[in-house]
Structure 1
Amino acid sequence: MSRQAMEITHRSVSSPGGRIHIAEQGTGPLVLLVHGFPETWYSWRHQMPVLAAAGYRAVALDVRGYGRSSAPAATDAYRMLDLVEDNVAVVRALGEETAVVVGHDWGATIAATSALLRPEVFRAVGLLSVPYTPPGGPRPSDVFAGMGGDEEFYVSYFQEPGRAEAEIEPDVRGWLAGFYAALSADTMPPPGAPDPHFAGRGGTLRDRFPAGRLPAWLGERDLDVYAGEFERTGVTGALNRYRNMDRDWEDLAAFDGAPVTQPSLFVGGALDASTTWLAGAIEAYPATLPGLVSCHILDGCGHWVQEERPAEVNRLLTDWLATLPA
């Protein structure tokens, strides 16, 4: 493989929302990498060179509203249907007919929904941290409003435009450092401490973030990269994903209970609330992910699995990809 093919290159491609910025490395079958909140394409920095060396075309995008991708002004421009079509647009712009899609956090939900709605494009799906739960069930806002008793769940906290922005944007770097630390295995609050996924009434999420120490996976330069992007763009585009969950519930009603049938992979952290709260979703995989090839819960790992445990995740990804039909 040429040196050029092994370097990360950057460009933007057209999408229904304007443009999607992509980082690309390697040649071969396309693997589309979709980040979560609050990150960017950079969250896949450890995976891209390994996938390229293994013979894949690794493409990590900035989700609509993040980084160098377009950030439409309308709140409802961030509904799941639009993000799925952005993924399809990237595949087509790259001259490909199909892709494997891999996502982390919100990216996992975007990846799973992409596979559900456009199975002719997305031939396999890898999910990191957030398990697949089929569309349907109670209205999301009702579920989240009922969580926490006198405390407020972070998804509910994010709903009011401007509220979370007022907490985050005066000190983006400090807020991100605390948020990343709160969900990392080596820096998360100890059992019994106030849960950073909730805000006390009248308080902020940041009140419960650990302070003074970065998690081992996050260097000062890495934090600078993330903070620099959100200082430039603001966080409204990222937060608008949360503000469309009821719209998604309505938009996807026809897929109530539908399984994702393509070959799939799940990797979660044993210390991640996404894994523990949604343990029932993982147990339901024989019905909801009938094409599941392998499922892995990493001991001693928090939420940021591909950054906390890059070597292990890289091995699991490449082993899984090797099982897929060419």
Structure 2
Amino acid sequence: MSPAQSPAKSQLSPSPTGDLTHHLVPSPAGRTHLVEQGEGPLVLLVHGFPESWYSWRHQLPALAAAGYRAVAVDVRGYGRSSRPADASAYRMLDLVEDGVAVVRALGEETAVIVGHDWGATVAAHSALVRPDVFRAVGLMSVPYTPPGGPRPGEVFAGMGGDEEFYVSYFQEPGRAEAEIEPDVRGWLAGFYAALSADTMPGPDAPDPHFVTRGGRLRDRFPGGAAASGVRLPGWLDERDLDVYAAEFERTGLTGALNRYRAMDRDWEDLTPRFAGAPVRQPSLFIGGALDASTTWLADAIKAFPETLPGLRSSHVLDGCGHWVQQERPEEVNGILTEWLGALDD
């Protein structure tokens, strides 16, 4: 590849996980920060909210050891990637093209794309919109649902009755920032704990996905609003939490939250072209049995024969919450490498 296409090595501090290479590459966002390990076929790893490339710290060395070029990105709005000011810049088609730009900047023509949470939605739509680039897709926690149906903002606004669904809460500019940014570390600890198998509230506790009208999301976290009351889940130690908190304390939360604020734009962009469209490439799904994303979207999983006709491997992990690749890294790594190894069979 030409020097103009070559990824520029960034002047970042050493990775907390060791033998990894950090790059900044040009993308429609401006720049995309990525972390790379290994050689071989390219596997692009896309995180969700509120996370970063670091969410794939267990997968990068495992994929490298299995003979893959594993690359985890900071999605636009996060970490060391660019953070456009306008919420409309976080629409799905923009995120898809960021991924294409990363593949090209790394000198590759195609890649397997794997995503978790919002990253799963980005991965699915990347495969849908650019099948010429993304030859296979892995989804974690959030199953694929084809574009179409009612406008998302109206659907979420109608959920919850006397309470407010967290997506609507996040969609109001500045509102969630006012809750989170005075205590980023404490808020992240509570949010991660609320969706983890070993620390999530019991079935009789108020649902942490909803907000009391006029209240705050953190009031539903385990331990309540006090950061000192949060017990960290087993997958997250103090050092891991420091890594996440340091990035969001530096960047703020607006870039990350703008993904929620672009959802109606996605509906306008994608519905005319892709309403009801399946993703046909070879695919994988991994969810947690205790994750609301898996239980609420059970019908989407049942629809996989129509929506993911190339599905080769589907797993719902017993006793697992939302953060599947961090809660169960060895199991996920085994499933992922087996699926990748069988793609060309």
Query: Taking structure 1 as the reference length, what is the TM-score of the superposition?
Result: 0.98
The aligned residue for residue 238 of structure 1 is 256
* Identical aligned residues as a percent: 81
User: 2:56 is aligned with what amino acid?
Assistant: W
1:258 aligns with 2:281: no
Question: Aligned to 1:223, which of 233, 236, 241?
Answer: 241
* Equivalent position SS for 1:96: coil
- Structure 1 position 17, deviation (Å): 1.4
- Structure 1 position 50, deviation (Å): 0.4
* Equivalent position SS for 1:152: strand
Q: Could you tell me how far apart the structure 1 residues matched to 2:340 and 2:84 are?
A: 34
1:57 aligns with 2:74: no
Q: Is the CA contact (8 Å cut-off) linking 1:78 and 1:240 kept in structure 2? A: yes
Q: Could you tell me how far apart the structure 1 residues matched to 2:29 and 2:69 are?
A: 24
* Equivalent position SS for 2:340: helix
- Structure 1 position 51, deviation (Å): 0.2
Question: Aligned to 1:214, which of 215, 232, 244?
Answer: 232
Q: Which runs of 5 or more structure 2 residues have no equivalent in the other structure?
A: 1-17, 224-229
Deviations, residues 22-75 of structure 1 (Å, cap 9, x unaligned): 000000000000000000000000000000000000000000000000001111
* Equivalent position SS for 1:158: helix
- Structure 1 position 7, deviation (Å): 2.3
1:278 aligns with 2:290: no
Q: Could you tell me how far apart the structure 2 residues matched to 1:207 and 1:187 are?
A: 15
The aligned residue for residue 56 of structure 2 is 44
Deviations, residues 228-251 of structure 1 (Å, cap 9, x unaligned): 000000000000000010000000
Q: Which runs of 4+ in 1 moved over 2 A?
A: none
The aligned residue for residue 299 of structure 1 is 318
Question: Aligned to 1:97, which of 106, 109, 113?
Answer: 109
Q: Could you tell me how far apart the structure 1 residues matched to 2:247 and 2:171 are?
A: 22
- Structure 1 position 159, deviation (Å): 1.1
- Structure 1 position 89, deviation (Å): 0.1
- Structure 1 position 319, deviation (Å): 0.4
* Equivalent position SS for 2:61: helix
Q: Which runs of 5 or more structure 1 residues have no equivalent in the other structure?
A: 1-5
Q: Is the CA contact (8 Å cut-off) linking 1:26 and 1:52 kept in structure 2? A: yes
Q: Is the CA contact (8 Å cut-off) linking 1:102 and 1:125 kept in structure 2? A: yes
1:183 aligns with 2:195: yes
* Equivalent position SS for 2:262: helix
* Equivalent position SS for 2:171: coil
- Structure 1 position 199, deviation (Å): 0.3
* Equivalent position SS for 1:217: coil
Deviations, residues 159-184 of structure 1 (Å, cap 9, x unaligned): 11100000000000000000000000
Question: Aligned to 1:139, which of 151, 162, 177?
Answer: 151
Q: Could you tell me how far apart the structure 2 residues matched to 1:145 and 1:240 are?
A: 17
The aligned residue for residue 269 of structure 1 is 288
Q: Could you tell me how far apart the structure 2 residues matched to 1:296 and 1:310 are?
A: 14
User: 1:128 is aligned with what amino acid?
Assistant: M
Q: Could you tell me how far apart the structure 2 residues matched to 1:175 and 1:279 are?
A: 29
Alignment of 1:121-160 (within 5 A): 121-160=133-172
* Equivalent position SS for 1:252: helix
Deviations, residues 295-326 of structure 1 (Å, cap 9, x unaligned): 00000000000000000000000000011128
* Equivalent position SS for 1:260: coil
Q: Could you tell me how far apart the structure 2 residues matched to 1:181 and 1:261 are?
A: 35
Query: Taking structure 2 as the reference length, what is the TM-score of the superposition?
Result: 0.92
The aligned residue for residue 7 of structure 1 is 19
Question: Aligned to 1:173, which of 185, 208, 212?
Answer: 185
Q: Could you tell me how far apart the structure 2 residues matched to 1:319 and 1:297 are?
A: 16
1:313 aligns with 2:332: yes
Q: Could you tell me how far apart the structure 2 residues matched to 1:16 and 1:130 are?
A: 25
Q: Could you tell me how far apart the structure 2 residues matched to 1:238 and 1:122 are?
A: 24
The aligned residue for residue 21 of structure 1 is 33
What's the Cα RMSD here?
Answer: 0.8
Question: How many equivalent pairs are there?
Answer: 321
Q: Could you tell me how far apart the structure 1 residues matched to 2:87 and 2:151 are?
A: 19
User: 1:176 is aligned with what amino acid?
Assistant: L
- Structure 1 position 192, deviation (Å): 1.6
Q: Could you tell me how far apart the structure 2 residues matched to 1:11 and 1:308 are?
A: 27
User: 2:191 is aligned with what amino acid?
Assistant: F
Q: Could you tell me how far apart the structure 2 residues matched to 1:323 and 1:228 are?
A: 38
